[in-house]
Amino acid sequence: MGDKGGVKALLLQKVPALFVQGCVCHSIALCASNACTELPNSIEEVARRIYSYIMNSPKRLSEFAEFQKFTEVQPHKILHPSCTRWLSLEEVVKRILEQWPALTLYFTSAALEDGMATASEVLQELHNPITKMYFAFLSFILPAVNRLNLEFQATSLKIHRLHTNISSSFKGILSYFIKPEKLKNKDLTQISVSDPSSFISLGDIYRGAKTESIYLEHSAAIAKRDLEQFQIKTLNFYVTLSRQMLKRFLSNNLFSNLQLLEALDPVNVFQGKPKSLIPLAVKFPNIVDERVYEELNSEWRELTIGKIPALKDKRVSEPEKFWHAVSQERIGDSPRFPNLSNFMLNLMSLPHSSAAAERIFSLVTNIKTKNRSRLKTDTLNGLLHSKNLLQDVDCRTWQPTPKLIDKMNTKWVKSPAEVSQEVEDTQF
Residue 158 sits at φ, ψ, to 5 deg, of: -135, -10
Q: What is the pLDDT of residue 103?
A: 95
Residue bearing the bigger pLDDT, 22 or 208: 208
Q: Note whether 343 and 353 are within 8 A (CB).
A: no
The residue-averaged pLDDT of 226-249 equals 93
Q: What is the pLDDT of residue 364?
A: 87
Pairwise CA distance, residues 383 & 183, whole Å: 52
The residue-averaged pLDDT of 216-220 equals 93
Q: How do residues 385-401 score in pLDDT, each as one tens digit? A: 888 878 777 878 888 88
Distances (CA, A) of 6 to 26, 27, 67, 247, 367: 19, 19, 55, 20, 31
Q: How do residues 41-71 score in pLDDT, each as one tens digit? A: 989 899 999 999 999 899 999 999 999 999 9
Q: What is the pLDDT of residue 426?
A: 52
Q: How do residues 251-309 score in pLDDT, each as one tens digit? A: 766 667 778 888 999 888 888 888 999 999 998 888 888 999 999 999 999 988 876 76
Distances (CA, A) of 187 to 3, 131, 165, 306, 330: 27, 37, 15, 33, 42
Q: Which helix (H) or strand (E) holds 331?
A: strand 330-331
Q: Given pLDDT bands bounded at 50, 70 and 90, which one contains residue 346? A: very high
What are the domain boundaries of the chain? Answer: 25-250, 262-347, 355-426
Q: Given pLDDT bands bounded at 50, 70 and 90, which one contains residue 33? A: confident
The residue-averaged pLDDT of 127-151 equals 90
Q: Note whether 234 and 242 are within 8 A (CB).
A: no
Please determine, for residue 3, whether its predicted confidence score (pLDDT) is greater than 80. no
Percent of the chain with pLDDT over 90: 39
Output the average pLDDT for the chain: 85
The residue-averaged pLDDT of 368-377 equals 87
DSSP code, position 248: I
Q: Note whether 39 and 89 are within 8 A (CB).
A: no
The residue-averaged pLDDT of 105-122 equals 90
Global pTM exceeds 0.85: no
The residue-averaged pLDDT of 345-371 equals 84
Q: What is the pLDDT of residue 428?
A: 43
Q: What is the pLDDT of residue 313?
A: 65
